[in-house]
Amino acid sequence: MCTVCGCEAINVDFDAHAHHHAEERLITIERDILSKNNAYADANRRRLRRAGVFALNLLSSPGSGKTSLLVRTITALKARWPIVVIEGDQQTSNDAERIRQTGVSAIQINTGKGCHLDAHMVGHAMESLPLERGGLLFIENVGNLVCPAAFDLGEACKIVVLSVTEGEDKPLKYPDMFAAADLMLLNKSDLLPHLDFDIDACFAAALRVNPALQILTVSARSGDGLAAFYAWIAERVALGPA
Amino acid sequence: MHEVSLIESLIALVEQERDKQLFARVTTIRLKVGALGPAEPEALSFCFDAVAAGTIAEGSRLEIEIIPGEGWCADCCTSVPLSERFGACPICAGGRVRMTGGDVLRLADLEVE
């Protein structure tokens, strides 16, 4: 074996070895691996800005009540803003069907084996949606508290939904998602009387990973707290995309 | 497992470089992966061969340099090593530590022929 580089060449004299390696070279790159996704996300963001559409990316673990929350929110807000929805799930178009029953346009993205939406998928989905000036685009990400945090989609803000049937230490166990979010909605508050969920410990955990996080307690079922959520959306829309 | 799509993004970067720099084969791909970043080094290595098959990266060696976590403690006014992204300060045990390093996920360089 060659003692210079460990290659498998045998019986090479020095000149031959130098020749053998003449075409090897080192290329310095230093590029972020997510740069491709980020480039698509920037393109989405520019397109949304040109169209005058405000995009919100909803993230949570499966079963937190994202779709129910969205259905109720759309029903309440569709007279005020034109609304379109992108739904992400590994399989089925059940969620997009539920959203369409509210009367707004929804596109389902099935990620197959994929565990998150990426900016490229969202860019293509946007092509099939009527983007009206002054409207809202809700993107319901794949139910997963891990991967979607790393993938910018071009949205104006990220909303993480946590439900009181999950542990209050979720923000500490899955910090990236809570660190990336602008708003946390603590959902299913109607169940609180039946649970030992420590709401103060939950808020403390969330604020520890993200001191700037805003938090609202809501119930998609009873509607409690949703007025504050709608007010938050109105405030953010008025500020415009970041 | 999002490491698969991260490796796909990595290979897309390598292909972009091939189009710019004209090489036939990649022998080594070196990554810098932060200990506090979004990817697990073992999971990246685990799926690399399968994702690289049939691409410019097939047969190349993946080398991963782990970049240790680092933070700035606002109470000690100093840089401290950080083993968890939102961990306490190892000196004063306080919680006012802001991560300053160790969340990279970067293609550092390539050895090509």
The string of DSSP codes covering A50-116 is HHT-EEEEEE--TTSSHHHHHHHHHHHHTTTS-EEEEEEESS-SHHHHHHHTTTSEEEEEE-TT-SS
A175–B27: do the CB atoms touch at under 8 Å?
no
Does A212 touch chain B if contact means CB atoms closer than 8 Å? no
CA dihedral sign of residues A223, A227, A144, A135: positive
Spatial CA neighbour of A54 closest among A132, A108, A163: A132
**Preferred mutation among A8, A25, A29, A35 to probe B, highest tally of B CBs within 10 A:** A29
> Distance between CA atoms of A52 and A133, rounded to whole angstroms?
5
* Cβ contacts of B9 on chain A, cutoff 8 Å: 33-37
User: Which residue of chain B is at minimal alpha-carbon distance from A39?
Assistant: B9
Q: Which two tokens stand for residue A192?
A: 């609180």
Query: What's the mean pLDDT in A91-116?
Result: 92
Angle subtended by helix axes A35-51 and A119-127, to nearest 10 = 30
Query: What's the mean pLDDT in A123-137?
Result: 96
Query: What's the mean pLDDT in A58-73?
Result: 96
Smallest Cα distance from B70 to chain A, Å? 16
Spatial CA neighbour of A48 closest among A149, A123, A115, A151: A123
Answer yes or no: is pLDDT of A113 > 80.
Answer: no
Spatial CA neighbour of B106 closest among A29, A38, A32, A39: A32
Split at pLDDT 50, 70, 90, the class of A21 is: low
- A189-201 pLDDT, tens digit each: 999 999 999 999 9
Query: What's the mean pLDDT in B10-26?
Result: 92
pLDDT given for residue A242 in this prediction: 59
Split at pLDDT 50, 70, 90, the class of A183 is: very high
The DSSP bridge partners found for residue A233 are none
